Amino acid sequence: MRGTPAVAVLRLGHRPGRDERTTAHVGLTARALGADRVVLAGEAASRRDTIEDITDRFGGPFRVETTDEPMAVLEAWEGTVVHLTMYGLPVQEAMADVRAAFEDGTELLVVVGAGKVPFEVYERADWNLAVTNQPHSEIAALAVFLDRLFEGRELDRDWEDAERAVVPRETGKQVEES
């Protein structure tokens, strides 16, 4: 996975009391499926420690950043912006173009929201993409998008500095400590 342009995920919004696990899972999904970092906006920053703890235990590299000005992050981004929304174009129709821009060396910012996303995000995005035009989870949308972007290569990623590693098994659980 290294050697490819960077992929960052910007988590817009966080509904306290409702999104504690969702925001953490956006970060964990980004990490597990090939992104280089997640940027948590506003109250979403409260999930930083959870994501960093998993990265410390299960390896990286992966960074967690926070911002109180997510729109400034979005406006300053010099690469490609993909906004995942159920109102966007079908991912299966636009993915080849997104992947081509990415493989040409353009860094990618993937925006996932919580609650109502400001219209400026739709306007700034190079692509507003829908994994489906039905209500669904931003975690699922992010997972499908990253898997399509990397064409499954992210599933064979090596993890650096891992304290623990899951040993795949047909049944049961096994985690090795290093």
- What are the tens digits of pLDDT across the range 76-94? 999 999 999 999 999 999 9
Biggest alpha carbon distance in the chain?
Answer: 48
Q: Closest Cα to residue 125, out of 71, 69, 82?
A: 82
**Residues of the chain with pLDDT > 70: what percent?**
98
Across the chain, what does the average pLDDT equal? 92
* Phi, psi values for residue 78, rounded to 5°: -95, -10
Domains of the chain, residue spans? 7-177
User: In which band, very low, low, confident or very high, does the pLDDT at 5 lie, cut at 50, 70 and 90?
Assistant: confident
Which CATH code, of 1.10.760.10, 3.40.50.620, 3.40.1280.10, 3.10.20.30, is assigned to 7-177?
3.40.1280.10
With vertex at residue 40, the alpha carbon angle to CA 175 and CA 50, rounded to the nearest 5 degrees, is 25
The predicted-structure confidence for 119-128, as pLDDT tens digits, reads as follows: 999 999 999 9
